[in-house]
Amino acid sequence: MLRVPVLSKSGKPLMPTKPSRARRWLKEGKAKVVHNDLECFAIQLTFETGENTQSIAIGIDPGKCYSGAAVQSSLATLWMAHLVLPFKTVKERMELRRVMRRARRGRRINRKLSYNKRCHRQKRFNNRRQGKLPPSIRANKQLELRVVKELFKLFPISSIHYELVMADIDRTSGRKSARSGVGFSPVMVGQRQMLNWLSELAPVKTHQGWQKDGNGTSQLRQWLGLAKDKKNKANQTPATHAVDGVTIAAFEFIQWREWHSNNTKHGSWCGDVQVTPASFAIVRRPPVSRRQLHLCVPSKGSKRRKYGGTVTRHNFRKGDKVIAEKAGKTYTGWCSGDTEKQVSVSDASWKRLGQFTTKKVRLLQRSTGLIVRIERSRNVVPATGLSNLPLLEGSI
């Protein structure tokens, strides 16, 4: 059953409640609906109450283009998300910026002069070894961190579980595996910085996706009976990445225990956790271009119009959630651009729904820097899942 986040009268997160109880509190005037940037339905109590809470964990499955996140308690799955990371967008824009910068510098050089007399700008400092994160990686980590911070405003989270991505190393020799010849992944970059950011919010526990002793995310997911979609990671369903977030969060309530006999080693999962249907969100950042003085390519008449930024000419900002009307139909989306008399509205995938007259566009919510599409109830457990598995112990 779904759970509704509950805040105390002072705004402190409490244990979630059932939708029926939340409706009753709203009807009796004991609670009110509160807004949050994740567009998750939540209520705030209008009377004083106790603040006792139970253990709730966040599970994060980081990736290069997509990440999974979930909030789990011992009795229910509270929230799931599929994060569309801005890795490719930021990388392409940084490459374009580098090309245009080099072109500008090349145009001001008088190549008729000898090389030692040309206007080559010398470096002012050594900027090649500063330990900074690449912009694409930093954008990924900041989006994950932003979502985690918003979840801390809704749930009384006690711990964070994070999956570490390790190099492809031969587990017998300790060297790079000869199977693929690759010992590096972009997901590995910035993991230490991300763990430092998360440790400021709550205790962080790390896990590996695959471990030989069976104590890995993959083994626990199989034991829980959760289906994993490995064919197309771009599918915006719980089975692609959110299911791993649920599994990683379940480490808070389930542990791997080993015992030894004469010449063999045994192990089993011990603990109790219930994976239930939960609200599923698809979160991404609005791909708004940064403000530039002009377009990269000259236009006719040697005049270039301005490009980028969030300001429009019609009192809307790019990323604002709006409702628009056209030909008797109503569209809900996000402001993505403007013309002299019209406003462009796009859907959650940033595909344009159309251009609408300014008078027929109404503002619903100012931009929060996030685009969230909610699917109310999604189940990550197949029909043959937990019903056929023991809850307390399983052997491998």
101-114 as b/e: b if 16+ CB within 10 A: eeeeeeeeeeeeee
Q: What is the pLDDT of residue 387?
A: 36
Instruction: Return all residues near 384 (Cβ < 8 A) that are at least 6 apart.
Output: 225
In tens, the pLDDT along 210-222 reads 765 666 888 889 8
What is the set of domains in the chain, with CATH numbers? 1-53 (no CATH), 54-87+132-284+372-395 (3.30.420.10), 300-369 (2.30.30.140)
Between CA 351 and CA 389 the distance in angstroms is 43
The CA-CA-CA angle for residues 388, 392, 393, to 5°, reads 80
Of 40, 41, 74, nearest to 57 by C-alpha is 74
What are the distances in angstroms from CA 100 to CA 103, 189, 295? 5, 27, 11
What are the distances in angstroms from CA 73 to CA 42, 79, 158? 17, 10, 10
Contact of 336 with 355, CB cutoff 8 Å: no
Q: Return averaged pLDDT per consecutive 10 residues of the chain, 396 residues in all.
A: 91 94 95 94 93 93 94 94 95 91 84 85 73 90 96 96 77 46 74 94 89 74 88 90 94 86 77 92 92 77 80 92 94 94 94 95 94 80 44 34
Instruction: Return all residues near 194 (Cβ < 8 A) that are at least 6 apart.
Output: 62, 141, 144, 145, 162
Q: What is the pLDDT of residue 248?
A: 94
